[in-house]
Amino acid sequence: MKIIRKISGLFLVAMILTLSFSSCRDRVYEKITYTANIPVYMDFDTFRKSVVKTSGNELVNPGKIYFKNNYLFINEINEGVHIIDNSNPAIPINIAFIQIPGNMDIAIKDNVLLADSYIDLVAIDITDPLNPVEIDRIQNAFPNVIPMLDYTYPVYGLDFTKGVITGWETKEVTEMVEKGTGYRNTMVLYDGLGAPSLGDAQISISPGTGSSSVGIGGSMARFTVNGDFMYAIQNNALKVFNIANTPGMTTGQDVYVERMVETIFPYENKLFLGTTTGMVVYDLTNPAVPAYLSSFNHINSCDPVVIEGNYAYVTLRAGTQCNGFTNQLDVVDISSITNPFLVKSYPLFNPFGLGIDNHILFICDGDAGLKVYDATDPMEIIQNQIAHFQDIKTFDVIPVNGLLMMIGSQGLYQYDYSNIDSLKLISQIPVIAP
């Protein structure tokens, strides 16, 4: 019996080897050539010495805006931050530019500007806005962030150990692959903090022009500060940073939201997250560990959110990146924060950011321009339009005590709405073609 078993075992091994060799001989490889995105790298040492101050640059590709203590900070997408002296909004002065490679988002606590720089979080002392100084950095705060690319082509040769990916070259690639398997290097990609659709953020606690510890940002925010903590969005994660000391920032515990998050808005010790499938609310009673409270769901769409009183105002936007076909304003009753419900929806063109101050609702309706409504009665908002500024490609707004700051692909626009019956443009900083 032992001999029979041994022979049977040897026979089985022989059969496996025979089939394996036969399988290898049957495989057919072919040479294919295709167009791919090839990463462009910056070595880590050079990257982490790249935050420098220069003279005031022209706006070329503006993204998000942030306002604090009469200074306006405008993100230049992937390049850095413009500092605007806005003490006289009728005559804004571009006084400096902070070069921050890979910057998309900013927030401010006291005199420290917090900014993403591709994979890192950087703290910059702006006590003297003319002489900003980097004072702290958390390396790899946002792992594997990549810049925007042409999604019609696959990626070839991605290697995060080679340095920071700062861009892409579109080239032809030739490789040997098993016949019928297609591109060996095709992959699903994400850009870490979320793809910038004319920018996609920072926000603060409440409007005001005084010397509060934090400033005011727009509704497309992905950064916000609350007390000694900064919160940032990266895909489906709510990232927590302890910024009580700079230098000395530390990374806290990530909170996973189980859906793709795009924007963040703080209000009354809570965080309102705009996701591709709805609004999610987190409680900050323990600021180090945000706790889930509730959610309001909708179909797939991009959706920044702002809050005033018992209502949340959410714009839903269609588009390839948003995977949706809806363009509208949703008004959500949050008087019971654990049970938010829809009050009414209004059709729009293609809305991006929005802002509200004392029941005056400002909506950036994409190429349809800036729309202003009286939202005193949530059931009659569209019927109570106050103004419509057309022929402006709008992105986001910050309304503060009668001053509206609006950013779009054509530049910065500022409006005086102290007399809502006579809302008027008071200044503009145009974009300069590169």
The answer to whether residue 210 scores a pLDDT higher than 50 is no
The answer to whether residue 195 scores a pLDDT higher than 50 is no
Q: Which amino acid type is present at position 47? A: F
Write out the DSSP string of 191-254.
-SS---TTT--EE-SS--SS--SB-EE-TT-SEEEETTEEEEEETTEEEEEE-SSSS--EE---
Q: Are 371 and 329 in contact (CB under 8 A)?
A: no
The answer to whether residue 201 scores a pLDDT higher than 60 is no
pLDDT-based confidence at residue 324 (cuts at 50, 70, 90): low
Burial zone of 152 (CB within 10 Å; 0-12 exposed, 13-18 middle, 19+ buried): exposed
Q: Summarize the confidence of residues 11-19 as an average pLDDT.
A: 43
The answer to whether residue 9 scores a pLDDT higher than 80 is no
Local structure of 140: helix, strand or coil = coil
Burial zone of 26 (CB within 10 Å; 0-12 exposed, 13-18 middle, 19+ buried): exposed
Among 221, 369, 192, 387, which Cα is nearest to 303's? Answer: 221
Q: What is the mean pLDDT of the chain?
A: 86
What CA–CA distances, in Å, run from 241 to 93, 193, 228, 376, 388? 32, 15, 9, 37, 40
The answer to whether residue 203 scores a pLDDT higher than 50 is no
Rounded to whole angstroms, the Cα distance separating 119 from 121 reads: 7
Q: Are 363 and 370 in contact (CB under 8 A)?
A: yes
Location of structure tokens 């992105």: 395
Residue pLDDT, tens place only, 74-102 = 999 999 999 999 999 999 999 999 999 99
Joined together, the tokens standing for residue 423 give: 């809302």
The whole-number pLDDT of residue 181 equals 67
Residue pLDDT, tens place only, 156-170 = 988 999 999 999 999
Q: Are 261 and 279 in contact (CB under 8 A)?
A: no
Burial zone of 426 (CB within 10 Å; 0-12 exposed, 13-18 middle, 19+ buried): middle
Rounded to whole angstroms, the Cα distance separating 281 from 62 reads: 29
User: Looking at the domain 44-143+194-430, which fold is it?
Assistant: Methylamine Dehydrogenase; Chain H (2.130.10)
Q: Are 312 and 278 in contact (CB under 8 A)?
A: no
- Domain locations in the chain as residue ranges: 44-143+194-430
